[in-house]
Structure 1
Amino acid sequence: MVKLTRKNAAEFLSELKKDELKEIASMYGLPVSGTKDELVSRILSNAKLSDLAKILEVKPESKQKEDVKPQAKQKKQDPEIDASKFFKEIVKLLKKITPPKVKNEDELELYVLGLLQGKFASRKIEVVPQTIAVSRGKTTQPDIVVGGAVAVELKYIKGADDSDRGIGQAVKYASTYPYVVLYYYDPQKRSHHSKSALGKNIELVVYPK
């Protein structure tokens, strides 16, 4: 696995699209304006190599030996228990929120992504948006994945087709992830949804109720 240094970190970041760099910058609370080179420079100046390594999937040179023991401990944990806990927390959060008015699914994703990152950041649980996952070579990916185990699919409902597509995607992701949360932003109440059509590991949350 490639070791991450400041030099090759700049090279890896430069290979990403500008929108992907903006996503990374927003994860660190950095401004997302400016040119691609400015974004790369801003990220390198403010982010730790160990954090960038997780996003870029490379191993930082100075942490190579220290990372072995934590990884071994993680294998001893029961991922099913953790996934179930994340799943319940995410469902509870999404049922509780009153989202702002958004124009499209991109704005909805940014809002929910910020909520989930804020909730799980202190516990060092990875919250991966679709743009980052796609940059890692995963072509079919939910909007957000929490802890590598809970898929969150967001839909701005403008018609029946949107809700049908959401159900289809949720069922598909349920074969890959232990749990799936399907969130409908449906201000005009146009969705036709039935929880009976979903599996036990899928939870449908609709706003407004």
Structure 2
Amino acid sequence: MCDRLLPPNATALERALEDTTARLDAVPAEVIRSLWDPWACPEPLLPWLAWACSVDEWDDAWPEATRRRVIADSYSVHAVKGTVGAVKRALASLGYDTRLVEWPEDDPPADPYTFRVEVDVMGHAVTNRTYAEIERTARAAKNVRSHLTGIRAVGRVDAALRLGAACHGGDVVTVGPWTPPEVRVSGPLRLAVLSTAVETITVRAGEAPTP
């Protein structure tokens, strides 16, 4: 008895399809129901789900949570594709907090219909691959008229700010010998004057003169 329904002249592709469809009965029904759910789809099938959802930027090296979030946000990105919100949402799916500066908002104003991107890269390694990923994602979500002129990576550190202050003061005291305070004495004033006179007489003795 033949196990195949295909005729003997069936092609190799037709036989491969027959073998594949024959195994569908072995696939649990809950797996089939989860195929279109980005949060429940089996991880090996995520690239195929991303292709079916028209995800513009995909990298198998992304963490699993990032790949699922990109697929989940695909519809909302495509719903507003060509707007500033689409660019921000597409980059947010990759974990970037983004600020778009369009040409009238720049200082000084830039060339018409241009814009630049400032991306908070906190928690991401800033490499050439990072810039390339941001550029591809922004170009895929922007409108055709606008032109991306620059990408600026901004690193932000969130931490508690503690301030401290100290005040130091002192006195310098010099200790010297004790000096009595000023002494005032009141009373009658008596003056005395002493004068002494001394006379000296010298007597010389000798022979009497000869007559």
Q: Which is helix-richer, 1 or 2? A: 1
Flag the structure with more relative contact order, 1 or 2, with Cα contacts below 8 A and sequence separation at least 6: 1
Report the TM-score, using the length of structure 2 for normalisation: 0.23
Query: Which has the greater radius of gyration?
Result: 2
Q: Which is strand-richer, 1 or 2? A: 1
